[in-house]
Amino acid sequence: MNSQWRLGIAIGLVVAVLAAAIYFPILKRRVKKQAQVQQKSEEQARLELVQSLNAATNEPKVKAQLFWAADAEYSDLVANTVELPLSNDPVLRSKQVLNTLLAGPVDSELRTLPPDAALLAFYILPDGTAVADFSDAMANSIPSGVQSEQFAVDSITRTLEANVPQVRRLRILIHGQAVETLAGHLDLTGTFPVSTKPVPPASAPAGVPATK
């Protein structure tokens, strides 16, 4: 190998090292920024919870029904009556009851949804199909199994049925994506039935006004 070749290779190596030195901090910043965006979206969801609950503080309190496990063995789901200031708007009302469901019961053994899961988005299509988008923790932190996954979905659909009559069926997304199963068992490719009862007039949402 002549000296010109050696010089060329040496220059090439120096250029490569310099390029790496310049690009590495940029790459590091991009990765950090991406992580912050993801964290922010979950933070936004939590902030929305607080805002949605605050937004409804002027609303009269109603007796909402939330469904958690009857016991630590998951023998059944039971309705728990909780007084909440719920909005009359079906989307906001759905977010309020689902966020309360996610917050969980006092006894953590009775919870049906992972404590670190967050509702990222919720909307209702004109035909009554609701779409609930949960954070990754909904799929990653839930105990795997037919029973536990079905309990999780049942607790969501029965809570919506009891409090938001406009919701007819539910589609669940995980972090904005359609996924095949919740945690290896339960089918998330379709919709879950919520209610087939007639929708009451807009001025009469579900929930019994709480007596003071």
Residues forming contacts to another protein in the complex (CB under 8 A) are: 73-75, 143-151, 153, 180-181, 184-187, 189-190, 192-193
Query: At its nearest, how many Å lie between another protein and the CB of residue 13?
Result: 39
C-beta of 180 vs 212, nearer to another protein: 180
* Residue 166 and residue 193 in contact, taking contact as beta carbons nearer than 8 Å: no
C-beta of 14 vs 146, nearer to another protein: 146
Query: At its nearest, how many Å lie between another protein and the CB of residue 181?
Result: 5
Q: In sequence order, what are the beta bridge partners of 53?
A: none
Integer Cα distance of 198 and 125 in angstroms: 17
C-beta of 81 vs 148, nearer to another protein: 148
Query: At its nearest, how many Å lie between another protein and the CB of residue 130?
Result: 16
Cβ neighbours of residue 54 under 8 Å, at least 6 residues apart? none
C-beta of 116 vs 187, nearer to another protein: 187
Question: Looking at 106-154, which runs of residues are DSSP E strands?
Answer: 119-124, 129-134
Query: At its nearest, how many Å lie between another protein and the CB of residue 73?
Result: 4
Report the phi/psi class of residue 124: left, alpha or beta, with left for phi > 0 and alpha for psi in -120 to 50: beta
Query: At its nearest, how many Å lie between another protein and the CB of residue 112?
Result: 10
* Residue 113 and residue 138 in contact, taking contact as beta carbons nearer than 8 Å: yes
3-state secondary structure of 210: coil
DSSP state of 212: -
* Residue 131 and residue 122 in contact, taking contact as beta carbons nearer than 8 Å: yes
C-beta of 89 vs 149, nearer to another protein: 149
